[in-house]
Amino acid sequence: MTVQETLAELVAIDSVSSRSNVEIANYLAHRSVGLGFQVKRFPYTDDKGVEKVNLIALAGADFAQGPPEVELALVGHTDTVPYDPNWNEALTLTERDGKLFSRGACDTKAFIAAALSAIEVVDLQKLTKPLALVFTADEEIGLIGAKRLAEVRAFHTRYAIVGEPTSLRPMRAGKGYCLAEITVKGREAHSAYPALGSSAVVGAARLITRIENIGNRLRSDEHTAFDPPFTTLNVGLIRGGTAKNVIAGECKFTLEWRPIPAQGPEKLLELLSFAIEEEKKSDSGLVFEVDSARTDEGYETSANSRLVNLLEQLTGYKTGTVAFGTEAAQMTELGAEAVVLGPGDIRVAHRTGEFVPVNQLEQCVEILKDSIRALCF
Ligand SMILES: [Zn+2]
């Protein structure tokens, strides 16, 4: 089966994150077993009661002795973002001008198709070190599948190639992704009598000024591989008060930050709780609540890693860094020196008209085949 045919079969299975991914996982299990892998499913029920499954296909080792020690893991998420029902190519791979269009074509079914095609021409009997294919669920809604695998220590791996569209450039580091909602509670009163109330809007504004200062402090810690080379912050949403002549009783705002790997998600949270303590001193009538919804770590693999050197040599690109969240952080937790790489461009993912260039798809097959040969033979 050609890599394009495999990709066509993969995109024909609707695997939007809100649906169950069992159908695509069964397809991948069937293909993997056909190639000589042993498979293990890690099922779970998501918070809407939908059945999800992470699937690991393993060659050169087995699960009998507990979590396997893997040399190389090729990691692809099975879910996609939603698509416009009027986009009639969404589930039908369509070629035009050297490009293959459909939902998931680049993010990230192209990588999965390339991995399966690469393995078709590799003799798994000759592996000297274990190889795994890791197919995850719910990546697009918060890396949930990969987090579950990391939590249960499903396997340990020395190297991981995480498939995300990078136009085949290897990416050896990524910023984390963190999100918190902050609620400031004050006391309502008639605005003609300020002494009777405590304004949550003013309290939020003062806290935001402190957060801006925190952002400036975090900048002193630079990581030059990133653009921009520091942790970035954003207060993207704010909502508070009930009327122009009422001292605001409540104000909520979101704080999003993308920490460089060295800082970790907690760094900002510590500085934030310190800022809140300071703020309470200036108005004891205010209450602050921090609900941190996401604290995803970044990842970084050394520029001297064997995997980095190998992929630079195979692709002809110097490694770079990614600004979007990936499962490389969870693979790092599982022991890996991780690199993110895949065909297609992240800027065309997540939109109608998503595509992968045919030449990149085919080149990815070669890169993965050569990587397996270099690391597992
Ligand atoms: Zn993706």
DSSP three-state, residue 162: strand
Tell me the C-alpha distance between 261 and 220, whole Å: 14
CA of 330 to the centre of ligand 1 (A): 14
pTM: 0.91
Tell me the C-alpha distance between 258 and 252, whole Å: 20
Which amino acid, 151? E
Residues 6 or more apart from 117 whose CB is under 8 A from it?
1, 2, 3, 6, 365
CA of 15 to the centre of ligand 1 (A): 12
Give the pLDDT confidence of 223-268 residue by residue, as tens digits.
Answer: 999 999 999 999 999 999 999 999 999 999 999 999 999 888 999 9
Tell me the C-alpha distance between 139 and 210, whole Å: 33
CA of 273 to the centre of ligand 1 (A): 33
CA of 107 to the centre of ligand 1 (A): 4
Which amino acid, 27? Y
Give the pLDDT confidence of 120-177 residue by residue, as tens digits.
Answer: 999 999 999 999 999 999 999 999 999 999 999 999 999 999 999 999 999 999 999 9
CA of 154 to the centre of ligand 1 (A): 21
Residue 69, judged by CB atoms within 10 A of its CB (0-12, 13-18, 19+), counts as: middle
Convert 14-35 to b/e letters by CB count within 10 Å (16 or more is b).
bbebebbbbebbebbbebbeee
Q: Using CA atoms in the order 367, 82, 40, 156, what is the torsion angle rounded to 10 degrees?
A: 60
Across 301-316, average pLDDT = 98
Calculate helix-pair angle for 110-120, 22-34, nearest 10 degrees. 20
Using a CB cutoff of 5 Å, list residues around ligand 1, an ion: 107-108, 164
Q: Where are the alpha helices (DSSP H) in the chain?
A: 3-12, 22-34, 110-120, 144-151, 200-218, 264-282, 306-315, 328-333, 358-376
Tell me the C-alpha distance between 20 and 27, whole Å: 13
Give the pLDDT confidence of 61-80 residue by residue, as tens digits.
Answer: 999 989 999 999 999 999 99
Catalytic residues: 79, 139
Give the pLDDT confidence of 104-122 residue by residue, as tens digits.
Answer: 999 999 999 999 999 999 9
Across 26-48, average pLDDT = 97
